[in-house]
A and B are shown apart, each in its own frame.
Chain A
Amino acid sequence: MNRDIIEVQDLIKKYDDLIAVKGISFKVKSGEVFSMVGPNGAGKTTTVEICEGIRKPTSGTIHLFGKEFSKRSKAIRERIGVLPQEFRSFERLTVKETLKYYSSLYKNKRDIDEIISLMDLEDKKDELYMNLSGGLKQRVGVGMALVNDPELIFLDEPTTGLDPRARRGVWSAIMSLKEEGKTIFLTTHYMEEAEYLADRVAIVHQGRIVGQGSLRELISDHGGHYSVVMHGYDTSKIDILGEEASVDSKNNVSLPVHDPKDISHILSKVMQNGVKFESIEVKRANLEEVFMNLTGTTIEEGDAA
């Protein structure tokens, strides 16, 4: 887990007047799942596509497997697997034919039946790609990224647009790769996806990395440990909870708690002031809160921006 597979330094990408990536630096280590998280338009796809060789950087350096970007060759392409964003394959090839086609482009090959089994596609291997559901198509896409048995796999928003069940199916496929020790560079705007899959996360906002590290580090540094959510709380009396308390769209009152021992103090304060509420919930802090604390917006608001 020590060798740097990807090393990006001061990456900048401009499209005419728009600066999509504003000096990003990060490293991805061998065998880890590294996730770049952020709203649409944050610069995730531009960054990953530069690492894949699809786009050219305006400035900055990219090293893959210790070799500088400009010196990339077929030899490096043999070692990476890619699932592009919003990818669709040939409609009138079956799953197996599709995997065989992509396999034929590489010298290194992984057994197709093994990939089909790993992606849990045995029942669908003779089905035309066009007849598959969105979730199955993405699993085929992940499978396509494995045909050359790559050391590094890029998955650009692999679950966007999928329903929760299909998303779980893709997660399970990615977990299988993680168990195999593959290095995975995953971009997503689903926080729970990064929480579930990633060893390390980089939060991207408006072309910059605003925070990166393991989930535990990010939460510890930027998220607080817990939050107390009170349902049916009289919001006119929110002042007694202090400045950190907030009201969400369902009128629930939420309060970050840095030490679990503080929860009992909060409850006694509420009781002493005679404020009533229907129920209470204690939540661990998550990436969503980290994102909010780092950017001042929710990821949905970031999308709209």
Chain B
Amino acid sequence: MRPIAIINDFLANLRIWYRSKGTVFWSIAFPILLMLIFGAIYQGQGDITVSLYVQDLDGSEISEQFIHSLGDQLQLEDIPADVDGDEYISENNIRAALIIPEDFGEAIYRFQQGSNESISLSLSLDPTRESINGIIRGVVAGTLHGWNNEITGSRDVLTFQEKSVAAEEFKFIDFFMPAVVGITVMTSTIYGTIFRNTKYRKWGILRKLSTTPFTRWEYLISKMLFMTFISFVSTFLIILVGVVVWDISVSIDPYLFIIVLSAAFAFSGMGMIISRFVKEEETADSAAGAITFPQMFLAGTFFPLEVMPSYLSSFARVLPLYYVNEGLRDSMIYQDSSGALFNTAVIFTIAAVLFVIGALVTKWTE
């Protein structure tokens, strides 16, 4: 055995490894990025503010004590007792609410006098925020369990019934699907643009095209047509699978088309700007990953912004994908036209700015 040969081989491998920016990204930067993002999401839960709206229809001293016992772990907001709880929740886009019934205190008192009657609280939750729902459900169930132990020692006299805040009964997949459309448009356009621009430049295709009557703007328009076509095909297929396999109820309106179109332009523009600085084919992968992954995890695709520390959720609001996801949900699922209009306007503006900058920095001649 020749240790020198082994050491030299090891050093050569090390040299090759650190000179490949893509490999370094995936083996070092990517896991660190993941650890930082998920670490911030899960480790920093003490910083997370989870809000729960409470309507106390009972207004007794006991119900106030019960609310107080919830308050240590959740940020409680009031729903006035004199309004219709369900209407108020719907009108104010409240995503987690607990309604304490009128005879809450009285029923506990009756139970202590020997009645077998149980009391059910109503917990309304937004199915799109399953990770937050878990926290709220856990706090409410834990608090009720503590009270049940206090009152009976064993029996569940206090229970809760859960319902969706949405008018219809949606499954989580209904709410997740728009985000799948968003990340698909984002990844296909960003990766496609960066890879194509980098490869075409390296292979001399851009130089070749520049010597033909084909103009740079014709090239950009044709590429955008292609990206838009692919974005709509993938959107259509995702919706089709959602409808056929998961029986999802999807609303198709003009906002959906404008958002998908704007997203294709915004992310292509982003890809063009990035590819201006990517010199090697090998770096294209890591550059595209560096742009798409943080957006994927931070823009409310898999986790609602509320589960993130405030600095991360503030950061998410500057990411184009956030407005794509929110706009698509408002358009396709909630049928919230004011929300859809706002998010469409934001992503349209972002698309115009990014695409114009991207087009201007994409050069194929000196």
Instruction: List A residues at the B interface (Cβ < 8 Å).
Output: 49, 52-56, 74, 77-78, 80, 82-90, 102, 105-107, 144, 148, 154
* Inter-subunit contact B204/A84 (CB<8 Å): yes
B202 to chain A: closest residue by CB: A88
Bound complex: CA A77 to CA B204 (Å): 17
* Inter-subunit contact A88/B203 (CB<8 Å): yes
Across-interface contacts of A49 in B (CB, < 8 A) = 207
B215 to chain A: closest residue by CB: A74
Interface string of B203-234 (1 = CB under 8 A from A): 11101111111100000000000000000000
Bound complex: CA A86 to CA B201 (Å): 11
Min distance, Cβ B178 to any Cβ of chain A, angstroms: 32
* Inter-subunit contact A74/B213 (CB<8 Å): yes
Bound complex: CA A85 to CA B202 (Å): 11
A88 to chain B: closest residue by CB: B203
Question: Which residues of B65-120 have CB atoms within 8 Å of chain A's CB atoms?
Answer: none
Across-interface contacts of B61 in A (CB, < 8 A) = none
* Inter-subunit contact B203/A89 (CB<8 Å): yes
**By CB atoms of chain A within 10 A, which of B209, B211, B365, B366 has the most?**
B211
Bound complex: CA A83 to CA B211 (Å): 10
Instruction: List B residues at the A interface (Cβ < 8 Å).
Output: 203-205, 207-214, 365-366
* Inter-subunit contact B365/A53 (CB<8 Å): yes
Across-interface contacts of B214 in A (CB, < 8 A) = 105
**By CB atoms of chain B within 10 A, which of A86, A89, A105, A107 has the most?**
A105
* Inter-subunit contact A78/B213 (CB<8 Å): yes
Min distance, Cβ B251 to any Cβ of chain A, angstroms: 38
Bound complex: CA A80 to CA B209 (Å): 12
* Inter-subunit contact B211/A82 (CB<8 Å): yes
* Inter-subunit contact A87/B365 (CB<8 Å): no
* Inter-subunit contact A105/B365 (CB<8 Å): no
Across-interface contacts of B213 in A (CB, < 8 A) = 74, 77-78, 105-107
Our pick among B203, B207, B212, B366 for the contact of A105 (Cβ within 8 Å) is B212
* Inter-subunit contact B210/A105 (CB<8 Å): no
Across-interface contacts of A74 in B (CB, < 8 A) = 213
Q: Given A54-B366, A77-B213, is A88 in contact with B207 using a C-beta cutoff of 8 Å?
A: no
* Inter-subunit contact A55/B365 (CB<8 Å): yes
* Inter-subunit contact B212/A84 (CB<8 Å): no
Q: Given A88-B203, A105-B213, A105-B214, is A82 in contact with B208 using a C-beta cutoff of 8 Å?
A: yes
Across-interface contacts of A56 in B (CB, < 8 A) = 366
Bound complex: CA A204 to CA B204 (Å): 23
Given A53-B211, A84-B204, A102-B212, 4 other A-B contacts at CB below 8 A? A55-B366, A84-B208, A85-B204, A107-B213
Our pick among A87, A106, A107 for the contact of B204 (Cβ within 8 Å) is A87
Bound complex: CA A6 to CA B279 (Å): 33
Min distance, Cβ A108 to any Cβ of chain B, angstroms: 10
Bound complex: CA A83 to CA B205 (Å): 10
**By CB atoms of chain A within 10 A, which of B204, B205, B210 has the most?**
B204
* Inter-subunit contact B211/A54 (CB<8 Å): yes
* Inter-subunit contact A86/B204 (CB<8 Å): yes
Bound complex: CA A86 to CA B209 (Å): 15
Q: Given A53-B365, A55-B365, A88-B203, is A144 in contact with B208 using a C-beta cutoff of 8 Å?
A: yes
Across-interface contacts of A106 in B (CB, < 8 A) = 212-213
Min distance, Cβ A11 to any Cβ of chain B, angstroms: 14
* Inter-subunit contact B212/A54 (CB<8 Å): no
What 6 pairs between A and B have smallest CB-CB spacing? A88-B203, A84-B204, A87-B204, A82-B211, A74-B213, A105-B212
* Inter-subunit contact B203/A52 (CB<8 Å): no
Bound complex: CA A86 to CA B203 (Å): 7
Min distance, Cβ A131 to any Cβ of chain B, angstroms: 16
Bound complex: CA A106 to CA B208 (Å): 13
Across-interface contacts of A154 in B (CB, < 8 A) = 211
* Inter-subunit contact B207/A84 (CB<8 Å): yes
* Inter-subunit contact B204/A105 (CB<8 Å): no
Q: Given A105-B209, A106-B212, is A87 in contact with B366 using a C-beta cutoff of 8 Å?
A: no
Across-interface contacts of B208 in A (CB, < 8 A) = 82-84, 87, 102, 144
B366 to chain A: closest residue by CB: A55
* Inter-subunit contact A54/B205 (CB<8 Å): no
Across-interface contacts of B365 in A (CB, < 8 A) = 53-55
Our pick among B205, B210, B366 for the contact of A89 (Cβ within 8 Å) is B205
Min distance, Cβ B214 to any Cβ of chain A, angstroms: 4
* Inter-subunit contact A54/B203 (CB<8 Å): no
Across-interface contacts of B207 in A (CB, < 8 A) = 49, 54, 84, 87
B205 to chain A: closest residue by CB: A89
B365 to chain A: closest residue by CB: A54
Bound complex: CA A39 to CA B315 (Å): 53
Min distance, Cβ A149 to any Cβ of chain B, angstroms: 13
Bound complex: CA A154 to CA B207 (Å): 13
Bound complex: CA A82 to CA B212 (Å): 9
Across-interface contacts of A105 in B (CB, < 8 A) = 209, 212-214
Across-interface contacts of A107 in B (CB, < 8 A) = 213
